[in-house]
Structure 1
Amino acid sequence: MRWSRSLTLPRRGDLVAGLSVALVLIPQSLAYAELAGLPAVHGLYAAAVAPVAAALIGSSPYLQTGPVALTSLLTLSALAPLAETGTAGFAAHAALLAIVVGVVRLLFGLLRWGAVSYLLSQPVVSAFTVAAAILIIASQVPTLIDSDADAANPFLGAGQALAAPGAWDAVAVAIGVATVLLVLAGRRISPLFPAVLLATVGALLLSVFDLVAVPVVGAIPAGLPPMDLGLPWEALPSLVVPGVVIALVGFAEPSSIARRYASMDRTPWNPNREFTGQGLANIVAGLFSGLPAGGSFSRSALNRLSGGRTRWSGAVTGLVVLAVLPAAGVLADLPTAVLAGLVIAAALSLLEVRPFTQAWRCSRPQFAIAVLTFVMTLAAAPRVEWGIVAGVVLSLAVHLWREMRLDVTATHAGTTLHVWLSGVLYFASAPVLEGRLLALLAEQPDVDRVMVHLQGLGRVDLTGLLSLRSVIEHARESGTDIELCDVPDHTVERAERVLGDLLRS
């Protein structure tokens, strides 16, 4: 409750910023709902309630919560095997998934596990984001050119659409491309330039006055978001893993936004509190028939530049969308090519080569992790979460490989062999130690005493100590005395319990 009491009265800048963001969020939420395979209105439902819920508890005053491209793609990936896109059943599964994502984030926040947001390595997150952006762009090609495609993989679908140029709708292509160019130009002019609003209103007017004949969004139910608890709870086990993936991967963007602005303002940022706020936002979105939500870079930047200084700006954004919902039917004539253009423009901002070049210059193993994540994400589409899984598994493998690199050096002093250990001695590197010591003893048959110096060890676990004990006992049985010395202070107590009298005083 202390968190909610920290929310002060709104300022004029918060009101202006909230309204400005809402004008961008409304068309974007329609577009991201379409990307997720949902009827467009469900994007509006999430856009109305998620920002308000996040504003109650969240940590960052600038973070704008709502539907975002990456989370929408992950939603489509998770639900495609469970229900048919565009149906009420698919929407119900999406709402349940939002609740799962929310519960996971809420638990991480309440249990103070916010640091888990740092566990996904930057190469994995960056490579996945770039691959996902490419898939997002490919998924919008059929809509952009008004051509049918029935392939599950976005690349194959885009290929099918592009392979039949005679079926393209030139007007739809022109509207979509113009939308992309207008949004990109607007970014170069100023983050405050209302490119999304201009593209949306312009295309809507062309359609309303029958100046163009292109596919449109269609009927949008008017009214407030309906609360629905009649969700497909039997599908819950199938949504746990995707929910955890979305909760963690989808949190990378809002946490990055919040950390960046906190650093610029020299103010503290609480990841546990942000996790809790994002969790509550997703739970509420799911309860009101919305899709999983996250933090948006572009809308958060617009919020800050428009004068937003407290979390009221996010609440105002949601309230404006809520006020628009009864009149949402006016958006029925909005060309779908505009929505495709908005999604493509958002995805283009996620395309970055720099993470790959940085990894190549700084760490070849990290570069390999990034490349594998990138390739697996593209190859596994539409089940893009397997790209993350592959990246995490390879990251752990690289970590274990590095940990196993236990350096063992030796020098002679008569019949005494001095052995220095450097690195980490744990379950993965213990076999390396055993093999190296036994090899040294086999190479030096005249040695009758071995002094093992442990001061170079950074960490020693139980398996490592048991391995040392086994080597010492076997060597003594064969007539060679092995003693341990220079035991690190952080290991003395544990070593005494495991090795006992084998330690050299």
Structure 2
Amino acid sequence: MGGTRRATARTLMYDAVAGVSVAMVGIPQSLAYAELAGMPPVAGLYAGALPPVLAALFASSPYLQTGPVAITALLTAGALGSLATPGSPEYVGLGLALALVVGVVRVGLGLLRGGWLAYLMSQPMLLGFVPAAAVLIAASQLPKALGAAPPGAGNEIVAAGWTLLHPGQWSLPALAVAAATALVIVGARRIHPLVPGVLLAAVAGIGLTMLGGYPGAVVDHIPAGLPPFTLDGIPWHRLPELLLPGAIIALVGFSEAASIARRFAAEDGTHWDSNREFLSQGVANLAAAAVGGMPCGGSFSRSSVNRMSGARTRSSGAITGATVLAFLPFAAVLEPLPLAVLGAIVILAVTGLLRFRPLVRLWRISPPQAAIAWATFLATLVLAPRLDLAVLLGIGLSILVFLWRLLQLDVDIAVRQGVVTIAPRGVLWFGTAQRLDDLLLDVLAKHPDAARLVLDLTRLGRIDTTGALALRSAVDRARDADLDVDVRGIPPQSRRLTDLILTPRTSPLE
């Protein structure tokens, strides 16, 4: 009994250390991601407080940390930017409504055991979308890090380009603060992954402003106190406008959490349940909608910190949320934080997502899949802020390539000493059956002296009824030409259908 209690206490201690460590990183990150989403900074803190506590009750992964994340924040900005002015009360209300939609979709998928839907986001589509989204995120924060104010509210790439082409508009104090922030974060990582570089940079920035050494823009106002519990701010009549972007965020945002959780589960040799994780992430978003937060998801960087800090159970996530919740009455201390620091924090956070080498390698592996990836990449950059359209384009291209591949039936033909061997590769179904029939006619016409036909079905993945009838027709045609027929390698799952091709012509399908 005593040993069990000591083990429990030790596990709780590890979880507490990990949870508090993540909170130290998550508090400044939450402010930065709220700015990225166009929400008030406090919305990021609210989304990092109660939502992780409730998510921990349902989560499957012991390491996954829930809260504001870069990709979801960018998708939020893209979904709401054309509907209201960022930061306005209308925009904030729409942000809460979007969190509600994301939460309902994820909870519904979890309860209906729809975790498999997470895998509908094809890997090539994500390979194109994620780095493009990272480019947009970094571009959106560049003016903030340099203290510039681009004219107009155009595409993030345009704004970043304008900023780079007008160095005279840069603020030297902002540039110095952003550069110092980057040095602190990178230097902390090199010392040890658990050194809270983000927190150190934020504290240094606050100290610089309080000492009167920074004249640039700061966070300015963060209401202190616990988050409000109300749904009054949600514009219920506008929910239909948010159904499509909410569903996209629910799936695309979950793919990030799923990849983190699957990777850690594989490394630990443990089971991971996508349905429970959908439920967990859904409950977190419902909580965010109820407490003035913003759409949230699973964070790769904070989950990694959680694991490296020694987390043992899901309680570490709850402790992270409880720590942020306890900090909220004192959140006003973050008001002097320079916006240049937040910009640099976001840019450094997404550098790991700028993976272009897989995009280049994909051309050598599969040109059709590479076309999906690059088309999604370019669409994400060009269509910004309508990232939902880019995602839909990527999904549509993935489906088209899948259908195109289904329509391809590769057939290897070998003729040797009067024996014709036909070996089809792919799926033999009503879309490809005619090709096999036409091919056999051509082969028999070219080799009238053939004495034997071998149909090698070893490399067929599946055969439907039409495909089976096409095989039967091929066999009958060969027998009518006085050829001996040998059928080999019938797929086990198609055995019942293809048995009829070996029987006399009394098939019940004729």
Pairwise CA distance, 1:273: 1.5
Letter in 2 for 1:405: L
> Once the two structures are superposed, what CA deviation does each residue of 1:45-65 show, in whole Å capped at 9, x if it has no partner?
111122111111101111111
Q: Which residue of 2 aligns with 1:409?
A: 413
1:72 is aligned to: 73
Change in CA separation of 1:186 and 1:453 when aligned onto 2, cut-off 3 Å: closer
- Contact 2:110/2:277, CA 8 A, preserved across alignment: yes
Matched, 1:300 2:303: yes
1:14-163 pair list within 5 angstroms: 14-149=15-150, 150-163=152-165
- Gaps in structure 2 of 5+ consecutive residues: 1-7
Q: How far apart in 2 are the matches of 1:19 and 1:142? A: 32
Q: Which amino acid aligns with 1:396?
A: I
* Alignment check: 8 A CA contact 2:219 2:334 kept: yes
Equivalent residues of 2:209, 2:337 under 8 A apart: yes
Farther-moved stretch of structure 1 (449-458 vs 44-53): 449-458
What residue in structure 2 maps to residue 216 of structure 1? 218
Percent of matched pairs sharing the same residue:
49
Length, aligned pairs only: 494
What is the distance in 2 between the residues matched to 1:431 and 1:221? 70
Aligned partner of 2:313 in structure 1 is 310
* Deviations 1:108-153 (CA, angstroms, capped at 9, x unpaired): 2222232333333333223211111111110011211222222331
For residues 343-380 of structure 1, what are the alpha-carbon distances to aligned partners after superposition, in whole Å with 9 as ceiling and x for unaligned?
Answer: 11101121223423543453343333322222222122
Greater displacement, 386-395 / 327-336: 386-395
Residues 454 and 484, structure 1, Cα contact 8 Å, conserved in 2: no
- 1:383-439 C-alpha deviation (Å, 9 max, x unpaired): 22333333333333333333312416375998x987554431124323433443454
Letter in 1 for 2:335: A
Q: Aligned pair in 2 of structure 1 residues 329, 365: CA closer, same or farther (>3 Å)?
A: same
- Comparing 58-67 and 371-380, the one that deviates more: 371-380
- Counterparts of 1:466 and 1:96, CA distance in 2: 54
Is 1:408–1:433's contact at 8 Å kept on the other side of the alignment? no
- Partner of 2:204 in structure 1? 202
Residue identity in the other structure for 2:103:
G
Task: Tell me: CA distance 1:420–1:317, structure 2 relative to 1, closer, same or farther (3 Å).
Answer: closer
Q: How does 1:245-264 map to 2 (within 5 A)?
A: 245-264=248-267
State the Cα distance separating 1:455 from its structure 2 match. 5.9
Asked if the contact 2:472–2:500 (Cα under 8 Å) also holds between the matched residues in 1, the reply is no
Answer yes or no: is the 8 Å Cα contact 2:18–2:305 preserved in 1.
Answer: yes
Q: Aligned residue for 1:4?
A: none
Contact 2:231/2:289 (<8 A) preserved: no
Report Cα offsets for 1:312-367 as digits up to 9, x if no partner. Answer: 11111111111222222222221111111111110112122342354345334333
What is the DSSP-based 3-state SS (H/G/I as helix, E as strand, rest coil) of the residue aligned with 1:11? helix
The answer to whether the Cα contact below 8 Å between 1:408 and 1:436 also exists between their aligned partners in 2 is no
Moved more, 228-237 or 138-147: 228-237
Distance in 2, Cα, partners of 1:169 & 1:153: 22
User: Please, what TM-score do these two structures have when normalized by structure 1?
Assistant: 0.87
Rate the CA distance shift 1:412–1:305 in 2: closer, same or farther, 3 A: closer
Inter-partner Cα distance in structure 1 for 2:496 and 2:434? 23
Partner AA of 1:200 in structure 2: A
Aligned pair in 2 of structure 1 residues 198, 488: CA closer, same or farther (>3 Å)?
A: closer
1:50–1:481 distance in 2 versus 1, CA, 3 Å: farther
Q: CA RMSD in A?
A: 3.2
Distance, in Å, in 2 between the alignment partners of 1:241 and 1:499 is 51
Partners of 1:425 and 1:459 within 8 A in 2: yes
Change beyond 3 A, Cα 1:156–1:455: closer
1: distance between equivalents of 2:442 and 2:68? 60
Q: Flag the 1:334–1:453 CA change in 2: closer, same or farther, 3 A.
A: closer
Quote the residue 1:338 is aligned against: 341
TM alignment of 1:180-199, pairs within 5 A: 180-199=182-201
User: How many Å separate the matches in 2 of 1:228 and 1:175?
Assistant: 38
CA 441–254 in structure 1, closer or farther in 2 if over 3 Å, else same:
same
Q: Which residue of 2 aligns with 1:3?
A: none
Match of 1:278 in 2: 281
CA distance in 1, matches of 2:153, 2:18: 41
2:203 corresponds to 1:175? no
Looking at structure 2, the residues matched to 303 and 58 of structure 1 have their Cα atoms a distance apart, in angstroms, of 15
Q: Distance between the aligned counterparts of 1:70 and 1:219, measured in 2?
A: 25
Which deviates further from its counterpart, 398-407 or 24-33?
Answer: 398-407
2:327 to 324, 327, 336: 324
1:391 partnered with 2:394: yes
Does the 8 Å contact 1:139/1:155 carry over to 2?
Answer: yes
List gaps (5 residues or longer) in structure 1. Answer: 1-7
Q: TM-score, normalised by structure 2?
A: 0.86
Cα distance, 1:38–1:427 mapped onto 2, change above 3 Å: farther
User: How far apart in 2 are the matches of 1:260 and 1:488?
Assistant: 33
**C-alpha separation in 2, matches of 1:236 and 1:469:** 55
Deviation at 1:265, TM superposition (A): 2.7
1:450–1:481 CA contact under 8 A, matched in 2: no
Q: 1:235 aligns with which of 216, 235, 238?
A: 238
* Corresponding letter in the other structure for 2:271: P
User: What is the alpha-carbon distance in structure 2 between the residues aligned to residue 165 and residue 171 of structure 1?
Assistant: 13
Residue 207 and residue 402 in structure 1: after superposition, are their counterparts in 2 closer, same or farther (change >3 A)? Answer: same
Q: Which amino acid aligns with 2:199?
A: L
1:316, 1:363 → 2: CA distance? Answer: 45
Q: Alpha-carbon deviation of 1:250? A: 1.3
User: In the alignment, is the contact (CA less than 8 A) between 2:228 and 2:291 conserved in 1?
Assistant: yes
Alpha-carbon distance in structure 1 between the residues aligned to 2:147 and 2:259: 36
